[in-house]
Amino acid sequence: MVELDQFKYTLESYEKPLIEVGDSLDLASKKLRIEEISKTMEEPGFWDDAGRAQMMMKELTKLKDVVEEYTRLKTEYEDVATLIQIGYEENDESILPEIEESLEKFIKDLEDLKLKTLLSGKYDKYNAILTLHAGAGGTESCDWASMLLRMYQRWADKRGFSTQILDYLEGDEAGFKSVTLQVNGENAYGYLKSEHGVHRLVRISPFNAAGKRQTSFVSCDVMPDIEDDIETQIDIDEKDLRIDTYRSSGAGGQHVNKTSSAVRITHLPTGIVVQCQNERSQLQNKDRAMKILKTKLYLLKQQENQEKISEIRGEVKEIGWGNQIRSYVLQPYTLVKDHRTNEEVGNAQGVLDGDIDPFINAYLKWEAQKKS
């Protein structure tokens, strides 16, 4: 059967990529590390140091997940090969839909795992903290910020990630002047780092009485939530801080609106400002804001070190803030285009409903090519 020949050819074309993914995962060393941790766990006194034990347990779980995922993928490949062989032996066309479905699933799972191998950055594994700031454009830009917030929340929901709004400042008429969203999930930062930059919207504004086409901008700042990492323990002098409290407008019931539970911390030497109003008490908001501030100061220090290295090497620094990374055109036609990777999607509404994986995937591949 011609269909069987095509399925067989397609499956065999993925044999080499499957092996290459296994090589890039360095499974042999991961299996050795699993054995080491397992032996250490059997030693007397392992649980005496609860912090160390917890870290090793977390590492063990992640290592096992990687090994098991690749093992499942190899099994999928072998299962499809078996189905094709049965099709040849029994000359049975009724098995073709099952082969097609199994082959499509294998290819999708392989592509997903290939992308995970690209998430090898130091902070990729962490949760993400994403902040949107409306640019010039008044109410239209504030509404654009709320549209982007919804887009990221929808994307997170589809991946099974959880989200939490940490802080927001509402627009005068609609949307947000700024909003901070925490996204919790495996490799959340690794995926969402692709969103860092300026996002441009072109549409006929519902806030424009003349019905004219309008362009608005929102900047997106994405940082890893590395507050629990021992490397981020940064000492902050209380004299370098200005701490303001104000009435929260966020979730938490009527109580938070009656008291000054929201906290704004300004780090005077750097000018970094962190706000948090989501928690129920002022103490909780202050603690959360301090952790975010420590993370920002740590990342700033890392960035300064990298810039010094770049100066020594004579490298041209990559453009960061202020980049227009992506355009979303809703009128007179619909198109979303990433200006870094040239990835384009015509279904703009689908993108705004959270279907941003094509852009994330293209960015990860583009980033990997730049490094190679």
DSSP, residue by residue, 287-341: HHHHHHHHHHHHHHHHHHHHHHHHHHHTPPPPP-TT-EEEEEE-SSS-EEEETTT
The bridge status of strand 197-204 relative to strand 324-329 is parallel
Question: Across residues 147-151, what is the average pLDDT?
Answer: 98
Q: Which residue has the higher pLDDT, 136 or 106?
A: 106
With cut-offs at 50, 70 and 90, classify the pLDDT of residue 79.
very high
pTM > 0.85: no
**Whether residue 23 is found in the same domain as residue 41:** yes
**Whether residue 100 is found in the same domain as residue 38:** yes
**Whether residue 18 is found in the same domain as residue 92:** yes
Q: Print the domain residue range for 167.
A: 127-230+321-371
E strand spans, 87-240: 127-134, 162-170, 176-184, 197-204, 213-225
**Whether residue 194 is found in the same domain as residue 335:** yes
**Whether residue 159 is found in the same domain as residue 28:** no
Question: Across residues 115-120, what is the average pLDDT?
Answer: 84
| Residue 43 included in any domain | yes
The reported pLDDT for the residue numbered 308 is 53
Which tokens sit at 296? Answer: 């920002």
Which of 118, 150, 180 lies at the terminal end of a domain, its last residue? 118
% of the chain beyond a pLDDT of 90: 56
If one counts the domains in the chain, the total is 3
Point out which residues pair with 327 in neighbouring strands.
200, 337
- With contact defined as beta carbons under 8 Å apart, do 264 and 241 qualify? no
Query: Which has the minimum average pLDDT: 6-15, 101-110, 119-128, 160-169?
Result: 119-128
Sign, CA dihedral 74-78-79-80, equals positive
Which of 100, 118, 136 lies at the terminal end of a domain, its last residue? 118
CATH number for the domain including 262? Answer: 3.30.160.20
> Exposed e or buried b for every residue in 155-180, given b needs 16+ CB within 10 A?
bbeeeebebebbbbbebeeebbbbbb
> Rounded CA gap, 84 and 162, in Å?
40
**Whether residue 141 is found in the same domain as residue 151:** yes
**Whether residue 19 is found in the same domain as residue 99:** yes
Torsion angle (degrees, nearest 10) of CA 108, 112, 117, 122 = 170
- Listed residue (320, 353, 355, 359) closest to 337, CA to CA: 359
CATH number for the domain including 361? Answer: 3.30.70.1660
| Tokens 């690794």 found at | 190
> What tens digit of pLDDT does each residue of 238-276 get?
888 999 988 776 444 444 445 678 899 999 998 899 988
| Residue 355 included in any domain | yes
Q: Which residue has the higher pLDDT, 24 or 345?
A: 345
Q: Which residues contact 264 (CB under 8 A, 6 or more apart)?
A: 243, 244, 245, 246, 273, 274, 275, 289
> Rounded CA gap, 3 and 323, in Å?
48
Query: Which amino acid, one-letter code, is at 368?
Result: A
**Whether residue 236 is found in the same domain as residue 212:** no
Which of 118, 143, 166 lies at the terminal end of a domain, its last residue? 118
As a whole number of Å, the CA-based R_g of the chain is 25
**Whether residue 242 is found in the same domain as residue 331:** no
**Whether residue 202 is found in the same domain as residue 325:** yes
Which tokens sit at 312? Answer: 């020594």
Question: Across residues 349-365, what is the average pLDDT?
Answer: 95
Which tokens sit at 10? Answer: 């397609």
**Whether residue 26 is found in the same domain as residue 106:** yes
- What average pLDDT does the chain have? 87
